[in-house]
Amino acid sequence: MDIYEALYTTRAMRRVKPDPVPLDVQAKIMDAAVRAPSGGNQQNWRFLLVDDPAIKAKIGPLYRDAVDKLWTTFYASQLEQAHATPEDPASISFLKVQKSAQWLADHYEEVPLYLFPFIQHDPTGGSIFPAVWSAMLAARAEGVGSCITAILSFFYGEETFEILGVPKDEGWVMAAMVSMGYPTGTWGVAQRSPAHEVTARNQWGTPPGFSTPEPLWRPQP
Amino acid sequence: MDIYEALYTTRAMRRVKPDPVPLDVQAKIMDAAVRAPSGGNQQNWRFLLVDDPAIKAKIGPLYRDAVDKLWTTFYASQLEQAHATPEDPASISFLKVQKSAQWLADHYEEVPLYLFPFIQHDPTGGSIFPAVWSAMLAARAEGVGSCITAILSFFYGEETFEILGVPKDEGWVMAAMVSMGYPTGTWGVAQRSPAHEVTARNQWGTPPGFSTPEPLWRPQP
């Protein structure tokens, strides 16, 4: 797969089939992930792959509760706004994400594989998220859909450490939870604010000197 | 370029030529970057591309000073250890990174392009580093080398905001500084601890069920 196809079409794929991700595919994903950079090349990372139904059955209820909390805290006003103006493009987009996130919560135990990345000594996240994103891009190349979520660590970090047997006195931070599986839907280029609107040149607010109203890469018909 | 070639060979490329990165290449890099995921697809990001010699001349001295500080704080004991055991593989690897980082500090103003990514409302870094890493992977596909660094924000965040005109009351966080340019060296697969040594299955410390002693992807001869 071409690098641009992977970069443009690796969008959040929460709805997946229960079919397992074969071990050799998982090996490809993780082998690609560890090529990513980390501060001072320290590689203070660990990755936990979870496919045991008994473990998923313990985390599922926590995840569902965390998602419930999300709608009543972080996204409460945005959700209210979206319901008040359901025909607004921003509302449509938000409610689409919300529905998809709720699907993952409702079907947590059916998703075949979860990747939990952990990192030490990384105040910015810059030493773990390149590896996580590489894993997701390699997964895309193998036809595996993924979605990165943060809320489990926001609300149930301690409980998840307990369930996964993560040592508590070594400074590990759970960076995210990534769901993985073969998608039920189709790949496509996600909608984004154009690059030229969020990029400046030399000074904040100065136009970048290029214009990208439409994505520069499109799938070949 | 194949996705795996990009994922395996996008290693830290600090030593670059002064040749400018054309605007259309920068557009490709940024257009790919904004396809990355962000929490709730909020895209609370801004990217600042710096190529003005006057701006680089202001940041250069700060960056050099930050690098000096790095060797006497974060990496002081590791540097001492490396100098004490210079033939140890870990020392060789560390001193190679150290020398390369020092090169970037010494030649800051000669590097043609810097990318400064900013993010709001992102406690983990998970909403900005996928985009940053996508930019670096797209750069790789275009033959542009890059390196992600965090230390400017550690030591001179406030001064850098001032120089770049970043508003101080909007909650922006400077996630990193990424150097970009055409490399003087050659691309290659970076050395990493094997994936199976840093990956566990279902419980911390349990082997993952696959073994990857050698990288699964290699450049075609």
Q: What is the pLDDT of residues B49-76, one digit of tens each?
A: 999 999 999 999 999 999 999 999 988 9
Q: What distance in Å separates the CA atoms of residue B189 and residue B185, rounded to the nearest whole number?
A: 13
| CA distance, residue B182 to nearest chain A CA (Å) | 18
Task: Check if A142 contacts B (Cβ < 8 Å).
Answer: no
What is the residue-wise DSSP string for A131-157? HHHHHHHHHHHTT-EEEEE-HHHHHHH
- In whole angstroms, what is the distance from residue A63 CA to residue B154 CA? 33
3-state secondary structure of A16: strand
In chain A, positions 45-104, which contact chain B (CB-CB < 8 Å)?
45-52, 55, 74-75, 78, 93-94, 97
Q: At residue A191, does pLDDT exceed 90?
A: no
Segment A121-134 shows an average pLDDT of 96
Of B78, B124, B136, the CB nearest to A125: B124
User: Tokens in use for A59?
Assistant: 């985390």
Q: Is B182 on the interface with A (CB under 8 A)?
A: no
Q: How far is B214 from chain A (nearest CA, A)?
A: 9
Q: Is B36 on the interface with A (CB under 8 A)?
A: yes
Taking alpha carbons only, the member of A32, A17, A15, A25 closest to residue A137 is A32
In chain B, the largest separation of any two C-alpha atoms, in whole Å, equals: 54
How distant is the Cα of A192 from the closest Cα of chain B, in angstroms?
7
Query: Are B46 and A202 an interchain contact pair (Cβ–Cβ within 8 Å)?
Result: no
DSSP annotation of A75 reads: T
Half-sphere exposure of B186 (CA within 13 A, CB side): 3
Rounded Cα gap, residues A116 and A164, in angstroms: 10
Tens digits of pLDDT across chain B (221 residues): 999 999 999 999 999 999 999 999 999 999 999 999 999 889 999 999 999 999 999 999 999 999 999 999 988 999 999 999 999 988 998 898 899 999 999 999 999 999 999 999 999 999 999 999 999 999 999 999 999 999 999 999 999 999 999 999 999 999 999 999 999 999 999 889 999 999 999 999 999 999 999 999 998 87
Residue B145, beta-bridge partner list: B181
Going by their DSSP bridges, the two strands A177-181 and A113-119 should be labelled as antiparallel
Q: Cα torsion for A211, B126, B137, A27, to the nearest 10°?
A: -150
Q: Is the pTM of this model over 0.95?
A: yes
Q: CB distance from B2 to chain A under 8 Å?
A: yes
Residue A115 φ then ψ, to 5°: -110, 120
Write down all domains in chain A, each with its CATH number in brackets. Answer: 3-193 (3.40.109.10)
Q: What is the dihedral of CA B113, B114, B119, B123, to 10 degrees?
A: 140
State the count of interchain CB pairs (< 8 A) between A and B.
288
DSSP 8-state assignment for residue A22: P
Q: Span A36-65, mean pLDDT?
A: 96
Kindly identify which residue of chain B lies nearest to residue A133, measuring between CA atoms: B130
pLDDT for the residue numbered B103: 96
Segment (H or E) for A26: helix A23-33
> Which of B98, B137, B147 is best to mutate for the A interface (most A CBs within 10 A)?
B137
Give residue B190's pLDDT: 85
Residues 6+ apart with CB under 8 A from A152: A59, A62, A63, A66, A160, A174, A177
Question: What backbone phi and psi angles, to 5 degrees, belong to A194?
Answer: -60, 150
Residue A140's pLDDT band (cuts 50, 70, 90): very high
Contact at CB, B32 and A8, closer than 8 angstroms: yes
A153 touches chain B (CB under 8 A): yes
Query: Residue B112 phi/psi, 5° resolution?
Result: -70, -30
Tens of pLDDT, residue by residue over A69-117, are 999 998 899 999 999 999 998 899 889 889 999 999 999 999 999 999 9
Instruction: Kindly determine whether residue A126 and residue B196, on different chains, have CB atoms separated by under 8 Å.
Output: no
Residue B220, pLDDT score: 82
